[in-house]
Structure 1
């Protein structure tokens, strides 16, 4: 297996000057002297001109000679190489890829819509140019495959009411899921000489066919949790009220009246609406 080989070709400015000198010097000599032999000078200057290579910052040129890998130019500037070399441009800049929203099943089998945002760049130009057919398309396909695999490894959310408690979920464990996604994509793109700079979930939601049902379930879970908190607080308040009445001897209540008082207080404290009190102008028994 051939590895990437960085080379620094001949200075392009010198060869550009020589090419122009041969080209225009030969033309001038033909006009003034009239000898056709100076046509070789024009031809040589024209051929040398095709050997010039301009490499921009964070860019590269992969050089081939009749199908044989010669090397890669990574240094930016103007250079001159053999005019017979085939020059393939590969960018070394960081690229951003936002995948399409995919419908996949999570660990519990629930259909979810998910997409990923990937930041990547080429680090090995030989692998990117020759080990895969089209490295940009390779990134897209392998990223989609990695997202599908990741979604099947974790549930969308925890369902404590069903006894399903997961340490890592797609919705809440953002950092852990991003690290797992980055590692999975990096393992797949290693053979193409590509480095993953960042990978994270860009969109995550239940699929449309179960979104309404899951929303109702989440609302019901929230309501139950709120009710539990309200009842817990109401019991504490009723207990405190009975203790205060008993300690300050404001009124003596038998067990039946205590039960009635507890019932009324619980209704008032746990009700969704404001209570409408009824004032008793008589005794406690009437």
Structure 2
């Protein structure tokens, strides 16, 4: 069965992140992608020049329209922007029997802030407990906790456990911001702590990696895979997408990953 995966996120017209990356990642990993758009952004590989938030009631209307007609096997939540949109999304998803992957998008790769400070508390109160897993990078985990970013794997584990203590059922904390030859991610959940390593690729084309990983993870969960297996599958796919990123020539800043790296050999 092909799983139906709903992305709730902002739009990136350059195609590397946001809903566009989510659709590519879900499609590349074997799912049927759907999307409820929370924000329109004017951005490219060099940065964000404008953001237009969608009315919270209309965000909820998009989600309810999908729920009314289509079986949802998993949900990925990305950029939400405001406390009002967070509340609308939480209300619209209430009672849904499907795993939710929450990627707490706060700051773009360019450094532009995408989540207002007053919305951080709302995210923790409304959506953290609803998520089967949250997928913060080191700055996002620190932002959620009001702390400095972790600088080593031990600090990552401590912050992941602190997020679980605040209501998260499982935390996949991503260590791409650390230095070293590998990118370590830690999954902290009720079954314990598991580490997933991938080689660090020398490329500047890493725009949308968080969006893409969380979408691939949602797709794997939508197929019924257990959380550790789903993380392993999603991380392996993303590592391949980063390794093949330089085959693309998109923009002059942080370019996108190569979502369809597994099929490009067959199709050009």
Q: What TM-score results when the alignment is normalised by the length of structure 2?
A: 0.18
Higher RCO structure (Cα 8 Å, ≥6 apart): 2
Max Rg structure:
1
Higher helix share: 1
